[in-house]
Amino acid sequence: MSSARLLDVVFNFILFDNGEKKIARYQQFFAIKKSLLRIKQIENGRRKGGVIWHTQGSGKSLTMVMLAQAIALDPTIRNPKIVLVTDRTDLDSQLTGTFRKCGMFVENATTGQRLVDLLESKSDAVVTTVINKFVAAVKKISKPLESNNIFVLVDEGHRTQHGIFNIDMQKTLPNACFIAMTGTPLFKKDKNTAAKFGGVIDAYTVDEAVNDKAVVPLLYEGRLALQEVNASPIDTFSVW
């Protein structure tokens, strides 16, 4: 490791999770580096987004924390507003708790009006919310927020970004940079997670995680259900 990278890791990729010191693993380090390069590409007034495809158990929550921190500290991005979106209240609470345990100040938008207030404020902020709050936010925001310094990090992006929720988010934040975090992206013709967000930024597959001994192997065993049908009562049964 070069001295420059060592200093980078020490300054930007070490955090304290509820008092426990944690250092980014290599897939987290490179995903964040690639994401910063991607979001600095601006096309038609909008920053380019994409998908971070990291398998389950690879530390996506901490990756989101470090990515939010990297965006906030980047001197080329002025007053960034970072919105972290989940699709369940328990995940929202978990992510909010992770940020706070890691020492990052975060606002939790538990209502649509609170989300509107935080989005419309002129100060930078890190906001966590549940995706359906955007439905309420759309109704309350008369004029779309057109800043391209709004970053939306979507947890489990494959589940929510192919319907009305995505449309509402795009209406409210037309120039925002959307980055999806997922361990199981969709590749269907009509539901392609990578195509929806602008391509894969970084991939860390389950095979790589197993080889690193970061997760246990997934084993599938085909089973045939053994059953015995008593045909005689069925054949003699009549329906009147």
Q: What is the pTM of this model?
A: 0.80
Per residue in 203-237, pLDDT (tens digit) is 998 889 999 988 888 787 878 878 888 877 777 76
- Distance (Å, rounded) from C-alpha 73 to C-alpha 53? 24
pLDDT over 80 at 126, yes or no: yes
Mean confidence (pLDDT) of the chain: 82
Q: Which domains are present in the chain?
A: 27-186+193-210 (3.40.50.300)
* CB distance 71 to 83 below 8 Å: no
Beta-bridge partner residues of 56: none
- Distance (Å, rounded) from C-alpha 51 to C-alpha 177? 11
* CB distance 183 to 60 below 8 Å: yes
Q: Given pLDDT bands bounded at 50, 70 and 90, which one contains residue 158?
A: very low
Residue range 55-63: mean pLDDT, rounded: 85
Q: 78-92, 106-120, 180-194: which range is least confident on average? A: 180-194
Return the pLDDT at 181.
87
Q: Given pLDDT bands bounded at 50, 70 and 90, which one contains residue 141?
A: confident
- Distance (Å, rounded) from C-alpha 129 to C-alpha 47? 22
* CB distance 160 to 129 below 8 Å: no
Which is nearest to 81 in space by CA: 138, 33, 145?
145
Return the pLDDT at 163.
47
- Distance (Å, rounded) from C-alpha 13 to C-alpha 22? 8
Return the pLDDT at 151.
92
Beta strands per DSSP E along 49-163 = 50-54, 81-86, 107-109, 125-130, 150-155
Local structure of residue 142 (DSSP, 8 states): S
Residue range 137-146: mean pLDDT, rounded: 81
Answer with the residue of higher pLDDT: 72 or 122: 72
Return the pLDDT at 6.
92
Answer with the residue of higher pLDDT: 172 or 63: 63
Answer with the residue of higher pLDDT: 240 or 199: 199
Which is nearest to 92 in space by CA: 160, 30, 147?
160
